[in-house]
Structure 1
Amino acid sequence: MHNDHMFQISATLDVNGEKRMATFRPADTLLYVLRSQLGLTGAKPGCLNGDCGACTINVDDMPMKSCLMLAIEAVGKKMTTIEGLDGTPIQKAFVEKFAFQCGYCTPGFIMNCHALLKQHPDASDEMIKEWLESNICRCTGYQEIAEAVKSVLTRYRSKNNP
């Protein structure tokens, strides 16, 4: 009888600018490997089916729900988790605008917003609203989160258009 717990892969993952070796089963999700193998617990398990966004990380600068991605799919890609975003403008803006309450969804929102700011420094209010729909928060009304994104965009625009 074949036991799939016996079959494991060792691979190097590029996370937060570091090459990290991990050993995992082919069926293990990226979320599981980040948390259990690499000790990066900022990405949170929520619904585990891609609806809530609490596990969002950035893969090649795009937001990705790590519960929907297999760890093996991440080999060769550049990943950033919340642990790799030390002191970024969007993190400061979340604090300044009180854009969180319980905080469980916050890392996923910050990763999503960070990718939005990188991909679309000219994002419209409508685009911000659309991007925020991929993550769920049960505590806030999303207004403060949108304000945090807009405050970073405003600062970015005024810096680049003196």
Structure 2
Amino acid sequence: MKFTLDGRTVEAEPRPWSSLRQLIEDVAHPLPTGCDTGHCGSCTVLLEGAPTPSCLVGAVEADGRAVATARTSADARLIEAFAAEGAVQCGYCTPGMLVTLSALLRERRGKPLAAETVRRALDGNLCRCTGYAAIVAAALRAHGEAAA
């Protein structure tokens, strides 16, 4: 099979019954692995532009499609806002949060963004350290900087 990973074409033969997360690890680099059941969101990638827990998607589903990890899909303003707002503690959930929120920021570019919208977007991302307030503040800050 052939797919695009972080902007480069990859040809691979996935192991039987492997997930997209496992395929990415086999052909490129490790992703955070939490629950492996789609509840924590730490392994979230963009699959054709949509935030997707890579542990829930079969590897063969990537055939002919574009996949982006936090390495290429994370918005630079959001990364800076995470640092400024203290939104990173242990860092385990951060890649998935960045992928999810970067997609939201692209979707909401030029439109208002409310804290409740950010919280809803994070429904599939679990953080045990921050309490989410700093993460929401970082997303709103990055959205405001993009509008400026």
Same fold (TM over 0.5): yes
Percent identity, aligned pairs only? 32
Give yes or no for contact 1:61–1:118 (8 Å, CA) kept in 2: no
Query: How big is each residue's C-alpha offset from its partner over 1:37-70, in whole Å with a ceiling of 9 and x where there is no partner?
Result: 12322x3111111100001011111100000001
2: CA distance between counterparts of 1:92 and 1:142? 17
* 1:58 aligned counterpart, secondary structure: strand
Q: Which protein has the larger Cα radius of gyration, Structure 1 or Structure 2?
A: 1
Does residue 1:120 correspond to 2:73, yes or no? no
2: CA distance between counterparts of 1:86 and 1:149? 12
Q: Which runs of 5+ in 1 are unaligned?
A: 1-10
Query: How big is each residue's C-alpha offset from its partner over 1:86-115, in whole Å with a ceiling of 9 and x where there is no partner?
Result: 772211211121111111111010001011
Comparing 24-33 and 46-55, the one that deviates more: 24-33
Give yes or no for contact 2:77–2:145 (8 Å, CA) kept in 1: no
Question: Which of 8, 14, 30 matches 2:4?
Answer: 14
Structure 1 match to 2:52: 64
Structure 2 match to 1:40: 29
Cα shift at 1:135: 0.4
Q: Which runs of 5+ in 2 are unaligned?
A: none
1: CA distance between counterparts of 2:98 and 2:29? 15
Does residue 1:144 correspond to 2:105, yes or no? no
Distance 1:102 1:132, change over 3 A: same
Does residue 1:130 correspond to 2:140, yes or no? no
2: CA distance between counterparts of 1:143 and 1:133? 14
Bigger proportion of residues as helix: 2
AA aligned to 1:118 is R
Runs of 4+ in structure 1 over 4 Å off:
none
AA aligned to 2:35 is C
* 1:19 aligned counterpart, secondary structure: strand
Give yes or no for contact 1:13–1:76 (8 Å, CA) kept in 2: yes
Structure 1 match to 2:80: 92
How many residues matched?
146
What TM-score comes out, normalization by structure 1 length? 0.84
What TM-score comes out, normalization by structure 2 length? 0.91
1: CA distance between counterparts of 2:99 and 2:73? 8
Give yes or no for contact 1:82–1:107 (8 Å, CA) kept in 2: yes
